Amino acid sequence: MRTCPRSILTALALGALLLPGPLAARPKNQLSVRVSQSFIPGAGYDALSANDHLAQGELAYGRELLELGRGRLWVEASWQAGAKSASLFGSFQTHTLLQSVTASAIYRLPILPWLVPRARVGLGVAIGSLELSSTGAGGSASHDRAAAFTGQVLLGLEFWIPRRRPRVNFGLVVEGGASFQTPLAFALEPEVDDELRRIPLAGSELGSVGLSGGQLRIGVMMEF
């Protein structure tokens, strides 16, 4: 019996459609956009903010490093920034820009295709820019920058779109824990034109500001 070439081609096409193909490689890169709310109880923070809260935005890139037990160890680099303003004694106004760069180790333990608990430990450097200005007529402004070391310990949950071995996937992450920071020490000097300055001016030490406290984060992620 002769077999029609058209029948052979049809059978091959159906087999290619019905048989499962190779699974896509597991994503090993992650981009994240997060917002955080810090709760800072230190008394020195009152000079920078009218309340104990600090909202910041964050951009991060993570990469899977290795498999560890039932989970996976990731490393992440992130940049975070936020700003605050406050009034002092009714005569002065402070404006503060806070930025930090952090390197983190993250242990992720998938328990369901859509649910992944995680634990984070991070270390970094923070830069604070402070401006103090007088609200009166003809008032001057002063500014300074200070640096500090930062650390964080956070626990969280990831919620992913349930898909079988996707090449690209999207999810939501919620984290909470504590952040630690060495004090920011500011010293301010009035801004005076050199041509008008008659006597040398020395900066005034304002003391240090600690930004350690509790932290809550939420963000969106993309793995690829």
Count other C-beta atoms under 10 Å from residue 38's C-beta: 22
> Is 20 among the domain residues?
no
| Confidence (pLDDT) at 41 | 87
Q: Helix and strand tally (H, E) in the chain?
A: 1, 10
User: Does residue 161 fall inside a structural domain?
Assistant: yes
What is the pTM assigned to this prediction? 0.79
* Cα–Cα dist 29/223, whole Å: 6
Residues 196-223 pLDDT 10s? 555 555 555 556 788 899 999 999 999 9
Q: Is residue 24 part of a domain?
A: no
Whether residue 220 contacts residue 31, with contact meaning beta carbons closer than 8 Å, is answered with no
- What's the number of domains the chain is made of? 1
Per the prediction, the chain carries an average pLDDT of 84
Whether 98 is in a domain gets the answer yes
pLDDT of residue 204: 52
Cross-strand bridge partners of residue 51: none
d(CA 102, CA 134): 34
Residue 15: φ, ψ to 5°: -65, -40
pLDDT of 81 over the 80 cut: yes
Residue 76 counted as domain residue: yes
In terms of residue numbers, what domain contains 106? 35-188+211-223
Any idea which of 83-87, 173-177, 214-218 has the lowest mean pLDDT?
Answer: 83-87
Give me the mean pLDDT over the 138-142 stretch: 70
Give a yes or no: residue 174 inside a domain: yes
- Rank 7-11, 121-125, 209-213 by mean pLDDT and report only the highest: 121-125
Give the tens place of pLDDT for each residue, 31-42: 999 999 999 987
Q: pLDDT at residue 105 above 80?
A: yes
